[in-house]
Amino acid sequence: MATRSAVTQREIARALGLTQMTVSRALNGSDLLAPDTRARILAKASELGYRSNGLAKRVQERRYRGMALLGSEARPGYNIGEESFHRAVGTTLAAHHWHLTQGWLPAEGLGDAQVVHSLLDRMLADAVLIHDVGEQSPQAEELLLHHHIPRVWVNSGRAWDGVGFADADGAMAGVRHLHGQGYRRLGLAIPHAPTSEDHISLRERVRGFGEACHALGLPSTLLHPPGRVPLCEHLDHLRQRLAGPDRPDAVMCYSPEFIVLLRIIAAENGWRIGPDLGVITFGPAARTVLDLRYTALDQDYASLGREAVEMAWRLLESGDRQPRVLVPVALIRPGSTTTR
């Protein structure tokens, strides 16, 4: 049996002897029609079983009830890849009947107007969440301005319209915790020597570590190889830095990957993690603490995702710039990895 196609505004107009524009105004709540005309049109629409095309209306008005999450193939391992971040963004939107779309840009795409315009046109988004996109952020922002679309920069260190982690405060809390446990020679294991071009997380963790050690009168040692090398080549360098009587007695790790290297060195020297070598690391607690049972400076990616969505909604509502929001980095201490 054939199914009848949806009733159109043109059919309503023909049945009433009116123009389609008049019908459209009535169905969209326009104040330009006489009350009796609007009532006649609404009655006929109900009689014929008319249903508005909500998506078409939102597309026309550029109100899609959706957000786009953009990442760069140049930096695929950052927070867009964190399951808890992505899930929090999606569930927060879904709770308000919004949808989420995700897009990946090629490394050069953030500076390519055609790529950005084409992607945003396909994503039907009212706002864009942009995870760390490195040095190309200024070009991307300039292109997004042409779309007049609110944008939230995630973990990019921006003073406005951005969310990130309070990395410096987290490092300070970690230093104070280690000091309270009796450690007096602290080291911070990082991938390479910090520069002004590094990601905001590295610069802020180094800053917080140094300031907290200075405030407590403790020596602070940055543990990194002379140049940028793969993580596997850090082992020999850490062996050298942790040798001798004046070696650091506790190490704060930039990321959980350094824990593996420290465990190898501890085993080689017969050290017990905790009493002989304190270890604390930045990282998502669900992975760092529950799996490895190590004291962690928790990066709460779920809160990061929710804050990003909330900021985007504030931008949509007010149109004003929003000051940066920093998600606290809380100390999670499940075991004895920093207890002497």
Amino acid at 334: P
Query: DSSP character for 247?
Result: S
pLDDT of residue 179: 96
Token representation of residue 244: 């001798």
Residue 124 to residues 77, 98, 115, 196, Cα–Cα distance (Å): 25, 11, 15, 36
Q: CATH number, domain at 42?
A: 1.10.260.40
pLDDT in tens, 83-122: 889 899 999 999 999 999 887 766 555 566 666 666 666 7
pLDDT of residue 146: 63
Within 8 A by CB and 6+ apart from 203, the residues are: 157, 194, 196
Among 79-83, 184-188, 328-332, the range scoring the smallest mean pLDDT is 79-83
pLDDT of residue 291: 57
Is the same domain home to 135 and 176?
A: no
- The range of the structural domain enclosing residue 321 comes to 66-163+303-326
The answer to whether the beta carbons of residues 242 and 307 sit under 8 Å apart is no
Is the same domain home to 220 and 237?
A: yes
Is the same domain home to 174 and 145?
A: no
Domain-embedded: residue 178: yes
**Average pLDDT value for the chain:** 83
Beta strands 186-189 and 151-154, pairing class: unpaired
Count Cα atoms within 13 angstroms, Cβ side, for 318: 10
Tally of domains within the chain? 3
Among 104-118, 195-209, 269-283, the range scoring the smallest mean pLDDT is 104-118
Is the same domain home to 216 and 235?
A: yes
Is the same domain home to 296 and 200?
A: yes
Is the same domain home to 38 and 186?
A: no
Report the alpha-carbon distance of residue 117 to residue 16 in Å, rounded: 42
Beta strands 330-332 and 296-298, pairing class: antiparallel
Which pLDDT band holds residue 58 (cuts at 50, 70, 90)? very low
Q: Is the pLDDT confidence value at 74 over 80?
A: no
Which residue in 183, 58, 26 sits closest to 125, CA to CA? Answer: 58
Q: How far is CA 97 from the centre of its chain?
A: 21
- Max Cα–Cα distance, the chain, nearest Å: 96
The answer to whether the beta carbons of residues 133 and 156 sit under 8 Å apart is yes
Which pLDDT band holds residue 59 (cuts at 50, 70, 90)? very low
Is the same domain home to 208 and 322?
A: no
In this prediction the pTM is 0.77
pLDDT of residue 216: 97
Beta strands 278-283 and 296-298, pairing class: parallel
